[in-house]
Chain A
Amino acid sequence: MSKANTANNIKTSTLDVEKIRKDFPILHQEVNGNPLVYLDNAATSQKPMQVIEALDKYYQNDNANIHRGVHTLSERATADYEAARGKVRDFINAGSEKEIIFVRGATEGINLLAQSYGRINLKVGDEIIISEMEHHSNIVPWQLLCEQTGAILKVIPINDAGELIVEEFEKLLSPKTKIVSVVHISNALGSINPIQHIIDRAHEYNAIVIIDGAQATPHTAVNVQVLDCDFYVFSGHKLFGPTGIGVLYGKTELLEAMPPWQGGGDMIKMVSFEKTMYADLPYKFEAGTPHIAGVIGLGAAIDYVNAIGLDAIAAYEHELLEYATEKAEQVEGLRLIGTADKKASILSFIMDGVHPHDIGTILDHEGVAIRTGHHCAMPVMTHFDVPATARASFAFYNTFAEVDSLVQALETAREVFA
């Protein structure tokens, strides 16, 4: 390693990473005798103390069911829950809090849309467009819907850099296109998709557009009104918040026209055996006691991200990715999978003669946590003709020195199999 390229010589003024790392207690531990290097952020991110304390405070002081009791705790819990909805609205610049539906995660958001919007709006021969780089959560719900309605699934292909082939998307568009559902940032490749263009073009055909933002919200600012997307889904746990909570954003007029997805408490105005009246938005889609702590924790996570600033986060992560890409390319026999021009901080790769699972085990032995496998994106693996990849994914609390640890561990893997 040439001296000019070591981590110590990298000067970044965008973030105070050492200070940020102090907020994440989990990062300060040893794994297999080595300092933990957590590079599996695309699977789930770690949680800052501010989020952990918000959960703690809720359960220690405010735990009560919401929207029901007249007692003090219920009022406090309700206020915090609804305040978090306001934070989410601001975070993605939705037009109204009515457009923010809390769900379990991006997966549930897409399933809700497929079943509630899809079943009443699609008929035999209608077309749904997704892409070759989708996560299984943006493939299977549409396959189920196609089986139920007779609609047809169309797939935008990707090129060998892992970019959507936009011209092919244009060819798929037709008056039959009813839904376009694409990922904002690919979890397996890191590619950032031209969603503005996709939204604009799909709207010319009066198709509605759903954006899967599970990987995007931790890395880039999202403005749903500027994008003019019809729906946008994301998960809290990838955004430094708790697991089991996510968000479905939808335009008011679309959500109002959709039937409820699940029935139960909290989603009704009045129930009788003759006729039940559903609650107004957003409660129509929030049947049952929700994940109150999760929502409050997500609100705290958004506060935390806002305090650092997504622009600063994106700039720093870009530097990390550039550094890691350069270093990884120097590892003999390493081939990057996903070399899109526009990429978020995800580094997917394979190595000659070393299977990704062996890489994963050897890296873990060195304290470096990465993901190996098909990343719930089997069609992407098929495209690149690999059974699996190794994937390092970075967050703003990762350091250049950690990239060095990754590369050093990769060299160890190469030596084991030399």
Chain B
Amino acid sequence: MFDLKDLYQEVIIDHNRSPRNFGKLENPTQVAEGYNPLCGDKLNLYLTTKDDLITDVSFDGSGCAISVASASLMTDSLKGKTVREAEQLFENFHDLIMEEENPDTEQMQSLGKLAALAGVKEYPARVKCATLCWHTLHSALQGDECSATTE
């Protein structure tokens, strides 16, 4: 029996209510759009990278608490990371909410506040809410023109 509070942790409620890095960047170097056709969640991601380093990142759009909080936490954790580090973080995050085995200590440390989304694992229908922003990031970093979807 899972407690609702395992999913809707304080951090998630807080980031949903006051999302960080919300809005457009002035001169982004990469932009990508994410869309979940099953539920209609939409997300735009704005990135500024310089010499492989993510110097600034923001997002806007609409979605459920899980998707907004996930995007907010993601943008917070990306600033100052290299593109490779960002992709590695996506992998660790993916393991956190998809894999049966929990990530090891080192991975958990790298996740930092993102670990607040661990409860999503128990709600398979909501996993895509949490990963939409990461798929969007991936397509922004790859320079994909078409929008990222969770399908």
Q: Which residues of A contact B (CB under 8 A)?
A: 32-33, 353-358, 361-362, 365, 372-374, 378, 381, 387-388, 412, 416-417
Docked CA distance A355–B66 (Å): 10
Task: Kindly identify, within residues 21 to 77 of chain B, every residue whose CB is under 8 Å from any CB belonging to chain A.
Answer: 38-42, 62-66, 68
Complex CA gap A374/B64 in Å reads 13
In the assembled complex, how far is the CB of residue B123 from the closest CB belonging to chain A, in whole angstroms?
Answer: 6
* Distance from B136 Cβ to chain A, minimum over Cβ atoms (Å): 16
Complex CA distance for A356 and B66, rounded to whole angstroms? 12
B binding-site residues for A, Cβ under 8 Å: 1-2, 4, 7-8, 13, 16-17, 38-42, 62-66, 68, 123, 125-126, 129
Contacts of B125 in A (CB 8 A): 361
B123 neighbours in A (Cβ, 8 Å): 361
Task: Tell me which of A33, A361, A362, A365 has the highest count of chain B C-beta atoms within 10 A of its own C-beta.
Answer: A361
Rounded to whole Å, the gap between the CB of A376 and the closest CB of chain B is 11
Given contacts A373-B38, A387-B42, A416-B13, A362 and B65 within 8 Å (CB-CB): no
- Would B129 and A357 count as touching, CB distance under 8 A? yes
- Say yes or no: A357-B4 contact (C-beta < 8 A), given A416-B13, A417-B13: no
Alpha-carbon gap, A388 to B37, bound state (A): 11
Contacts of B40 on A, CB cut-off 8 Å?
373-374, 378, 381, 387-388
Of all chain B residues, which has the CB nearest A417?
B13
Q: Are A358 and B64 in contact (CB under 8 A)?
A: yes
B64:A355 contact, CB within 8 angstroms: yes
Residues of A within 8 A of B17 (CB): 353, 417
Choose one: A381, A387, A416; the contact of B41 (CB below 8 Å): A387
Contacts of B4 in A (CB 8 A): 362, 365, 412, 416
- Are A387 and B65 interface neighbours, CB within 8 A? no
Could you give 12 example pairs across A and B, Cβ below 8 Å? A353-B17, A355-B63, A355-B65, A356-B64, A358-B66, A361-B7, A361-B126, A381-B40, A387-B39, A387-B40, A387-B42, A412-B4
Q: For A357, list chain B residues within 8 Å (CB).
A: 39, 64, 66, 126, 129
Q: When A373-B38, A388-B39 are in contact, do A358 and B65 touch as well, CB less than 8 Å?
A: yes
Residues on B with C-beta less than 8 A from A416 are: 4, 8, 13
- Residues on B with beta carbons closer than 8 Å to the beta carbon of A387: 39-42, 62-63
A104, B46: Cα distance in complex, Å: 45
- List B contacts of A372 (CB < 8 A): 39
Q: How far is the CB of A195 from chain B (nearest CB, A)?
A: 29
Q: How far is the CA of A32 from the CA of B2 in the complex (A)?
A: 8
Which chain A residues lie closer than 8 Å to B13 at the CB level? 416-417
Closest to B42 in A: A387
Cβ–Cβ < 8 Å partners of B64 in chain A: 355-358
Whole-angstrom CA separation of A356 from B8 in the bound complex: 14
The answer on a CB contact under 8 Å between A32 and B1 is: yes
Cα of A417 to Cα of B5 in the assembled complex, Å: 11
Q: Which residues of A contact B42 (CB under 8 A)?
A: 387
What CA separation (Å) do A356 and B65 show in the bound complex? 10
Closest Cβ of chain B: how far from A309's Cβ, in Å?
37
A412 to B3, CA, bound (A): 13
Kindly report which residue of chain A lies nearest to residue B129, judged by CB atoms: A357
CA distance A353 to B18 in the complex (A): 11
Q: When A and B form their complex, which 9 residue pairs have the shortest distance between CB atoms, in order from nearest?
A: A355-B64, A357-B64, A387-B40, A358-B65, A358-B64, A416-B8, A374-B40, A388-B40, A373-B39
Whether the Cβ atoms of B1 and A417 lie closer than 8 Å is: no
Chain A residues within 8 Å of B68, by CB: 355
Least CB separation from A372: chain B residue? B39
B126 to A, closest residue via Cβ: A361
What's the least CB distance linking A139 to chain B, in Å? 16
Q: How far is the CB of B151 from chain A (nearest CB, A)?
A: 14
Beyond the given A361-B125, A362-B4, A417-B17, please list 7 additional residue pairs across the A-B interface where CB-CB is below 8 A. Answer: A32-B1, A354-B65, A357-B64, A365-B4, A372-B39, A387-B39, A417-B65
Residue of A nearest to B125 (CB): A361
A188 to B22: give the CA distance in the assembly, Å.
Answer: 31
Count chain B CB atoms within 10 A of each CB in A356, A365, A372, A412 and give the residue with the most: A365
Q: Is the CB–CB distance between A33 and B39 below 8 Å?
A: no
Instruction: Give A354 to B66 CA distance when docked, in angstroms.
Output: 11
| Docked complex Cα distance between A412 and B39 (Å) | 22
